[in-house]
Amino acid sequence: MQDDMLRMVLLCCDDTIPVASQLVFTLKTVCGLTVGEIAARLFTTEANVYKRLTRARNSLRTSSTIQNLTPTQCAARIPATQQVFYLLFTEGYLSVHAETALRRDLCAEALRLTQMLAEHPLGQTPSTYALLALMHLHIARMDARDDGRGGLLLLEEQDRSRWDQQHTGQGLA
């Protein structure tokens, strides 16, 4: 994997720790989400997120695979990596922050990372392509979702002429 952030996500998604702890640790440490944002995305409490974060840190300190991942280890971590990217995208697409419903930077980064994963032979799976398509289709509607006052418009309220045809095409390809 050529991208440093993608490699970091794969390293953090260590299958010796529970998936929920992998997600918490990666979203906090690599993606920079707050504990509150992570708790909202995982439908849990901030206290639970802190506990999972501590357990994951302790487990990763003693992990023997932190230096070099084999292709088999990378392949086993792809599903958790996809979940991280989906949660990062979701926080961008429907932020927990009242003042900023859309966080385009998070959506763009999640899309970039998922695209990089899809370009790597280990990441060329139907689930990676499906996630990439989902992201493109949602990004295509992003401008039409914004009501201009910080709120969001429902699908039936959106001006479909504002949908990004390039992203729509990539999502349907």
pLDDT in tens, 27-54: 999 999 999 999 999 999 999 999 999 9
Question: DSSP character for 122?
Answer: G
Amino acid, single-letter form, for residue 135: M
- Give exposure, 61-85, as e/b (b: 16+ Cβ within 10 Å): eeeeeeeebeeeebebbbebbbbbb
Residue-number span of the structural domain to which 72 is assigned: 4-172
Q: What is the pTM of this model?
A: 0.91
50-93: per-residue pLDDT in tens?
Answer: 999 999 998 888 776 666 788 898 999 999 999 999 999 999 99
Q: Residue 1's pLDDT is what?
A: 56
Q: What angle do CA 19, 35, 47 make, to 5 degrees?
A: 80
118-131: average pLDDT = 96
Name the pLDDT band for 16 (thresholds 50, 70, 90). Answer: confident
Instruction: Quote the pLDDT of residue 66.
Output: 62
107 and 92 Cβ atoms separated by less than 8 Å: yes
DSSP state of 16: T
Question: Could you tell me which of 173, 171, 166, 87 has the C-alpha nearest to residue 137?
Answer: 171
Give the span between the Cα atoms of 4 and 30, in whole angstroms: 10
Beta-ladder partners of 35: none
In contact, 112 and 133? CB cutoff 8 Å: no
* pLDDT tens digits, 130-165: 999 999 999 999 999 988 887 899 999 999 999 999
Number of domains in the chain: 1
| Predicted pLDDT of residue 67 | 66
Give the model's pLDDT for residue 68. Answer: 77
**Which ranges of 62-149 would DSSP assign to H, the alpha helix?**
71-93, 104-119, 126-140, 142-145
Q: Give the bridge partners for 152, in sequence order.
A: 146
Q: Write down the pLDDT at residue 148.
A: 84
> Over the chain, what is the mean pLDDT?
92
